[in-house]
Amino acid sequence: LAKTTQPISMDSYEGQEVNITCSHNNIATNDYITWYQQFPSQGPRFIIQGYKTKVTNEVASLFIPADRKSSTLSLPRVSLSDTAVYYCLVGDTGRGGSSNTGKLIFGQGTTLQVKP
Amino acid sequence: DSGVTQTPKHLITATGQRVTLRCSPRSGDLSVYWYQQSLDQGLQFLIQYYNGEERAKGNILERFSAQQFPDLHSELNLSSLELGDSALYFCASSPRAGFNEQFFGPGTRLTVL
């Protein structure tokens, strides 16, 4: 699985848009980019996944440039409850029936602190 | 609520003891994963089962073992416990083996004294 690099911590204020960038220079052709959110003492929660360009769901957007060597998770108008650790993971999803197991390799993540 | 249940929620035991952690995956999910989260090591993948068979192994110690039963629930057995085994143990499930969208349970907090 490709190694990812993301900022250790970020601060923001309520109502602001937050962008967390993840670097994954060694991403492979079959790799997808997945983001998870984790609150203290809770299990991680899937946020969004994408392969290229832009993906949007009800909680976030994921921007992936053409070279796919980085990606940006965008959280619109954050609130205090968005304070959490955000993990960027890169790997083959196996959706197409590949032999990938789906095991997740977590890095250190980005601790986002949202202030009032 | 992810639909994944784990018991017990908390477990306090002594060094040298053996414990069993239990996980029930979401209805219909065939794949179960175990992860360990400690302060110094972060979140680490331990082992995966798919439809009763071991599918992948990560940083799982030989003192640890797991299995998935015909009803798809899974158990993680930790033996000869050491202080360093104190951690949060998460179970996750997914519909298929290679599916990166996994649903995590609330975890079992193990404290070894």
Please write the tens of the pLDDT for every residue from B75-102.
999 999 999 999 999 999 998 877 678 9
Give residue B34's pLDDT band: very low, low, confident or very high (50, 70, 90). Answer: very high
Q: Kindly state the helix (H) or strand (E) to which residue A53 belongs, with its residue range.
A: strand A53-56
Give residue B52's pLDDT band: very low, low, confident or very high (50, 70, 90). Answer: very high
Report how far residue B79's alpha carbon sits from residue B81's, in angstroms, rounded to the nearest whole number: 5
Residue A101 confidence (pLDDT): 63
Average pLDDT value for chain B: 94
Phi-psi region of A102 (alpha: psi -120 to 50; beta: other; left: phi over 0): left
How many secondary structure helices (H) and strands (E) does chain A include? 0, 9
Average pLDDT value for chain A: 89
* Listed range (B3-12, B34-43, B51-60, B93-102) with the worst mean pLDDT: B93-102
Give residue A11's pLDDT band: very low, low, confident or very high (50, 70, 90). Answer: very high
A51 touches chain B (CB under 8 A): no
Report how far residue B110's alpha carbon sits from residue B86's, in angstroms, rounded to the nearest whole number: 5
Instruction: Compare CB distances from A102 to B97, B105, B107 and report the shortest one's residue.
Output: B97
Residue A2 confidence (pLDDT): 63
Per DSSP, A88 falls in state E
Q: Determine, for residues A101 and B96 on separate chains, whether the beta-carbon distance falls below 8 Å.
A: no
CA distance A49 to chain B (A): 8
* Listed range (A12-16, B38-42, B66-70) with the worst mean pLDDT: B38-42
Report how far residue B62's alpha carbon sits from residue B100's, in angstroms, rounded to the nearest whole number: 26
Residue A1 confidence (pLDDT): 55
Which residues 63-82 in chain B show a CB within 8 A of chain A? none
B105 touches chain A (CB under 8 A): yes
How many secondary structure helices (H) and strands (E) does chain B include? 0, 11
Q: Determine, for residues B92 and A43 on separate chains, whether the beta-carbon distance falls below 8 Å.
A: yes
Residue B53 confidence (pLDDT): 93
Residue A98 confidence (pLDDT): 45
Name the percent of chain A lying above pLDDT 90: 72
Rounded mean pLDDT of A74-85? 96
* Listed range (A44-48, B3-7, B54-58) with the worst mean pLDDT: B54-58
Report how far residue B68's alpha carbon sits from residue B45's, in angstroms, rounded to the nearest whole number: 16
Which residues of chain B make contact with A103, given a CB cutoff of 8 A? Answer: 33, 45, 48, 56, 58
A95 touches chain B (CB under 8 A): yes
Name the percent of chain B lying above pLDDT 90: 81
Residue A96 confidence (pLDDT): 45
Q: Determine, for residues A104 and B101 on separate chains, whether the beta-carbon distance falls below 8 Å.
A: no
CA distance B1 to chain A (A): 10
